[in-house]
């Protein structure tokens, strides 16, 4: 085991797209662990659109990452030392340990994961936050019903890919929006969505007419911007718009674009509701259990895009904002 720990720290608050000088790549000694603390060798770090928001100053659902602090990230890894009776060396755990090779945490802030049930990186994806985000967002906020038409943007992404699959499990129609023919083929052929619309295609506005001819009952929004307005233009009576993210707007240096068609909420007695997965922390167990059951039955497919090397973190993170990922994007931290 190394005695040193490489880490990515936030050096400056980005303006627009994060650039190299917004990061500091540091090396320091392994941390000591105190009472009830556990030291974890990190295997994989989760890269998520929400990380962009955590880098900004200001009031949000969790405090921003401080300047000089190790960048916050979800991780999975192996326990290497423990002062807690609940964990022993060799256990696999998930927790918010950040972009570094080793991290420590209080035992209460770690969750054991089962490497026999699924590859451990799955606990950053389908059986982790993205899975729970799709699960509670679609079922609780979106209140999906059999026969609904569910439209989801970012359909080839970590959350969107699960939203459509869960919609199908619940007897709804699933229509995805994704960037490019390869992603759309994946969404329909591998994930089983009823249709997928390529927003980069010149015929996008034409293409959506047929799959959405019955209107939209649930729109699960991961992207914001123009696509949110296009969805609002096609909502049915009592539609539910689930605001999960707005990745098209996160690197804006101008004000965020508001949905001009929000007035359709009035016309159709519809609602737009936002959430973050942390709102459901007391129900995570319920969610993971059902997701794991569907996964075990072969009804839910997870895809993980693994990029390697902690030193590549700044460049790999940007793939999210360039639409260069399919499925859950993770960074492999441990060296082979």
Binding site for its own copies (CB under 8 A): 59-61, 224, 229, 243-246, 249, 255-276, 279
Q: In the bound complex, what is the minimum distance in angstroms from residue 216's beta carbon to its own copies? A: 14
CA distances in angstroms from 71 to 11, 22, 52, 74, 278, listed in the order given: 10, 11, 11, 10, 19
Q: Of 274 and 314, which has the nearer Cβ to its own copies?
A: 274
Shortest Å, Cβ 136 to its own copies: 11
DSSP for 81-138, written as a single string:
EESSTT--TT-EEEE---SBSEEEEEGGG-EE--TTTS-GGGGGTTTSHHHHHHHHII
Instruction: For Cα atoms 129, 229, 324, give the angle at the middle one, nearest 5 degrees.
Output: 45
Least distance CB 162 / its own copies (angstroms): 18
Cβ closer to its own copies: 49 or 126? 49
Residue 127 or 246: the one with the smaller Cβ distance to its own copies is: 246
Rank residues 84 and 261 by Cβ distance to its own copies and give the closer one.
Answer: 261
Judging by DSSP bridges, how do beta strands 102-106 and 37-46 pair with one another?
antiparallel
We find the least distance from the C-beta atom of residue 230 to its own copies, in angstroms, to be 13
Exposed e or buried b per residue across 279-291, where buried means at least 16 C-beta atoms within 10 angstroms of its C-beta: ebeeebeebbebb
Tokens 């699933």 found at: 174
The 3-state DSSP class for residue 173 equals: strand
Of 184 and 243, CB closest to its own copies: 243
Shortest distance, CB of residue 161 to its own copies, whole angstroms? 20
C-alpha distances (whole Å) from 283 to each of 90, 278, 291, 313 are: 27, 10, 13, 31
Q: How far is the CB of 157 from its own copies (least distance, A)?
A: 16
Pick 77 or 154: Cβ nearer its own copies: 154
Least distance from C-beta 283 to its own copies, angstroms?
14
What is the enclosing helix (H) or strand (E) of 274?
strand 271-274
Q: Which is nearer to its own copies, 115 or 258 (CB)?
A: 258
């Amino acid at each position: 085991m190394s005695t040193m720990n490489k880490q990515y720290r936030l050096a400056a608050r980005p303006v627009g797209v994060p650039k190299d000088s917004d990061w500091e790549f540091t090396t320091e000694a392994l941390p000591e662990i105190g009472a009830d603390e556990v030291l974890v060798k990190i295997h994989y770090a989760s890269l998520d659109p929400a990380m962009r928001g955590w880098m900004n100053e200001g009031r949000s659902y969790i405090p921003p990452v401080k300047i000089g602090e190790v960048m916050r990230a979800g991780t999975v890894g192996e326990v290497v030392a423990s002062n807690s009776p609940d964990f022993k060396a060799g256990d696999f755990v998930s927790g918010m340990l950040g972009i570094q090779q080793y991290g420590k945490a209080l035992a209460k802030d770690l969750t054991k994961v089962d490497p026999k049930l699924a590859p451990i990186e799955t606990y950053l994806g389908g059986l982790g936050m993205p899975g729970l985000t799709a699960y509670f967002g679609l079922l609780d906020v979106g209140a999906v019903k059999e026969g609904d038409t569910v439209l989801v943007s970012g359909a080839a992404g970590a959350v969107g890919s699960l939203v459509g699959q869960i919609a199908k499990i619940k007897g709804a129609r699933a229509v995805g929006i994704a960037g490019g023919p390869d992603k759309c083929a994946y969404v329909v052929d591998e994930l089983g969505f009823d249709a997928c619309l390529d927003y980069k295609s010149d015929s996008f506005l034409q293409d959506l007419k047929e799959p959405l001819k019955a209107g939209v009952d649930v729109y699960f929004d991961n992207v914001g911007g123009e696509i949110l307005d296009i969805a609002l233009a096609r909502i049915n009576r009592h539609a539910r718009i689930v605001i999960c993210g707005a990745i098209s707007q996160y690197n804006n240096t101008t004000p965020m674009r508001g949905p001009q068609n929000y007035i359709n909420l009035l016309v159709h007695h519809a609602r737009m509701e936002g959430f973050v997965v942390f709102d459901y922390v007391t129900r995570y167990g319920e969610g993971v259990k059902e997701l794991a059951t569907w996964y075990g039955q072969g009804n839910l497919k997870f895809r993980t895009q693994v990029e390697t090397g902690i030193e590549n973190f700044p460049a790999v993170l940007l793939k999210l904002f360039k639409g260069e990922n399919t499925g859950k994007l993770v960074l492999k931290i441990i060296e082979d």
